[in-house]
Amino acid sequence: MNETTLKRTAAPDSERDATIRVVAPARLHLGFLDLAGTLGRRFGSLGLTLERPCLVLRLRPSPTLDASGPDADRARRAAEKALGWLGISGGADITIDTALPPHAGLGSGTQLALAVSAGMAALHRRDMSLREIGAALGRGARSAIGIGAFTEGGFLLDGGKKLNSQDNSAPPLLARHAFPSHWRVILAYDHGHSGLSGTDEVTAMDTLPPFPDSLAGHLARLTLMQALPALVEEEIGPFGAAIGEIQHRLGEHYAQAQGGRYTSAAVGEAMGWLESQGIAGVGQSSWGPTGFAFIGDAAQAERLLDALRQRYAGHATLRFDCVRGRNAGAQIERLAPSPAA
């Protein structure tokens, strides 16, 4: 199932000429299914890999460690960890060409850590599974969606973490399905807001109200008996209705921690307008502020995208896009050296 590739394009004559290029996709986290864990497992996640935005970075051998470009500080910290657990002496020259928006609900931290670490392993020809990399980095403490997006892409469901587990490995992936090529996702970004992260996220998770078993059962039933079958049979109506209901219930549960159903009131207003146009599958990825809407027809999605851009043209921090799902994971390439002048 692992779609992540290491392409050896005309392997370089000398390791000092090697360049590793990594393209890692963003993901939507569509919600946890059981925050209480009374059956012995907690969380359980739904997610979707996106065709864009993507993180793009390059690594070259270097005796020292250096990083440049957007998100360079986080890349350098990830590389330091990778060098440590890989047992590599030396460094790398890391150039980030395009970064994912940080703290926006798109998985920027996980994708950056995995991309840098996988790139370092490839640069130094170390054979490591990406799940091992994720465990070493402490990624996947609650969800396997970020790791699944990096390794496989598509629409993903994981089975949650065992309670009191001391294992850093990610939860097991239970299902991975291709996202229909003719479906679209409208994304709403608010660059004036940031989602919760780090200690703020931990505190918020610890202070949420109790999660009823009845709600966990409802969300699990929506997932198993509506969202996944509708996805496989490419029925946007029931799929969108299930995702929208999951998002509505979770938004209410998180409201006291994030200031309402949506972190960004402007994104919430835009999602509400899409609902008024008959679009049921709307919500917020993770802690936001990025909002999303699932559309079953490309032409309809473009019309709605144009309408949103016109409607919110005066809002300085809102931006909209229309993208496909991505049914493959990250791309890792070993590039041939440039010909000598």
Residues shown for the chain: 341
Band of pLDDT at residue 10, cut at 50, 70 and 90: very low
CB-count exposure of residue 275 (10 Å: 0-12, 13-18, 19+)? middle
**Residues with Cβ < 8 Å from 16, sequence gap 6 or more?**
61
Which domains does the chain carry? 1-178+325-341 (3.30.230.10), 180-324 (3.30.70.890)
User: Given a cut of 90, is residue 12 above it in pLDDT?
Assistant: no
Is the model more confident about 207 or about 26?
26
Band of pLDDT at residue 314, cut at 50, 70 and 90: very high
Band of pLDDT at residue 87, cut at 50, 70 and 90: confident
pLDDT, position 195:
81
pLDDT, position 7:
44
pLDDT digits (tens, 9 = 90+) for 254-285: 999 998 999 999 999 999 999 999 999 999 99
- For residue 147, give the nearest of 110, 198, 117, 182 by alpha carbon: 110
- 39 membership: H or E segment, kind and range: none
Question: How many other C-beta atoms can be found within 10 angstroms of the C-beta atom of residue 191?
Answer: 13
pLDDT, position 108:
95
- For residue 59, give the nearest of 24, 23, 88, 22 by alpha carbon: 22
Own/partner pairs for 82-85, CB < 8 Å, 24+ apart? 82/116, 82/117, 82/120, 82/121, 82/133, 82/137, 83/120, 85/136
User: Given a cut of 90, is residue 340 above it in pLDDT?
Assistant: no
- 5 vs 285: CA distance, rounded Å: 27
- 300 vs 247: CA distance, rounded Å: 22
Band of pLDDT at residue 321, cut at 50, 70 and 90: very high
> Which DSSP category does 325 fall into?
B
What pTM was estimated for this model as a whole? 0.91
pLDDT, position 200:
78
